[in-house]
Amino acid sequence: MIEMLDVWKTYPNGTNALEGINVKIEKGEFVYVVGPSGAGKSTFIKLMYREEKPTKGTILLNGFNISKLKERQIPKVRRSIGVVFQDYKLLPKMNVYENVAFAMEVVEATKKQTKPRVLEMLELVKLKNKLRSYPSELSGGEQQRVSIARALVNSPGTIIADEPTGNLDPETSWEIMRIFEEINLRGTTVVMATHNREIVNTLRKRVIAIEGGRIARDQQRGEYGYEG
């Protein structure tokens, strides 16, 4: 469960990215976050795993008050969610396998558990043939898929994805969506910011539209609603 109560975010340079967000996402929901670029989608998402802190307001995530969280508890919260970052955030000196395995080392999984699970995830995102490649040797789409595999590897209860299909061809995009849909059916909460009109309009889910830092529309089985 994710809940935001009157959340404001002003960046140090004075940009008002979010202005009074109130939203509630129940466990097991599938939510698209749409809106023009610069609207505040990424900021909205970053607040959930505390890459950014709200300037004002309360954020609740799986029972934790994120805005009042003690430094020591942050890792615990972050482990309970899987994040697909818009800029991938892969460790540059680790290869594909190591990057995905890293998320399992963090939770102190055994080697026996780690290896098959990491390979399974890489199979899922079709990167099993690039195990030993480094991020700098991969295309944007491939890096995005590694980021997806890493977000899924610990089977978290919540997946938060910032434009996870932004760099993928339509076919791969649909495969990723099929994965999200499947884990969502098994109870995982999915929140994804996206620009992909076709996906939003085809695979109908709840749509939250952000414009100028405010929620402009919040609709079950909504449409993308923008041109292009």
Partner 1 sequence: MKVRTMGRHLREGSRNITRNGWMSFASMSSVAITLFILGVFLLLALNVNHIANVVERQVEIRVFVKQGVEKVEVDKLAEKLKDFSQVESVTFIPKEEGLENFKKSFGDKAYWFEGLEKENPLSDEFVVKTKDPVETEMVAERIKNLPYVESVNYAKDMIKKLFTITTMIRNVGIGFIVALAFTAMFLIANTIKLTIVARRREIEIMKLVGATNSFIRWPFFIEGLLMGGLGSVVPILLLLLGYRYLIDLVQVDLNLYFLDLLPLNPLAWQLSVLLMGIGAFIGVWGSMMSVRRFLKV
Give the Cα separation of 180 and 169 in Å (integer): 17
> From CA 203, how far away is CA 199, in angstroms rounded?
6
E strand segments, the chain: 2-10, 16-25, 30-34, 56-61, 64-65, 81-84, 158-162, 189-193, 206-211, 214-219
- Which of 34-42, 75-83, 121-129, 179-187 is the region at the interface with partner 1 (rule: CB under 8 A)? 75-83
Q: Contact between 216 and partner 1 (CB under 8 A)? A: no
Residues 144-203 that bind partner 1 (CB under 8 A): 150
Task: Report CA torsion sign: 148, 78, 101, 133.
Answer: positive
Out of 56, 79, 132, 204, the only residue in the binding site for partner 1 (CB under 8 A) is: 79
Q: In the complex, what is the shortest distance from the CB of residue 17 to ligand ADP, in angstroms, rounded to a whole number? A: 4
Residue 89 in contact with partner 1, rule: CB under 8 A: yes
CB of 211 to Mg ion, least distance (A): 14
E-state strands within 42-80: 56-61, 64-65
Name the residue type at position 224. Answer: Y
Residue 144 contacts Mg ion per CB under 5 A: no
Binding site for ligand ADP (CB under 6 A): 11, 13, 15, 17, 35, 37-43
- Does residue 93 interact with partner 1 by CB under 8 A? yes
From 110, 129, 221, 227, residue interacting with partner 1 (rule: CB under 8 A): 110
Cα dist. 38→64, 65, 214 in Å? 28, 27, 12
Q: Where along the sequence are the contacts to partner 1 (CB under 8 A)?
A: 49, 51, 71-72, 74-76, 78-79, 83, 85, 89-93, 102-103, 105-108, 110-111, 150
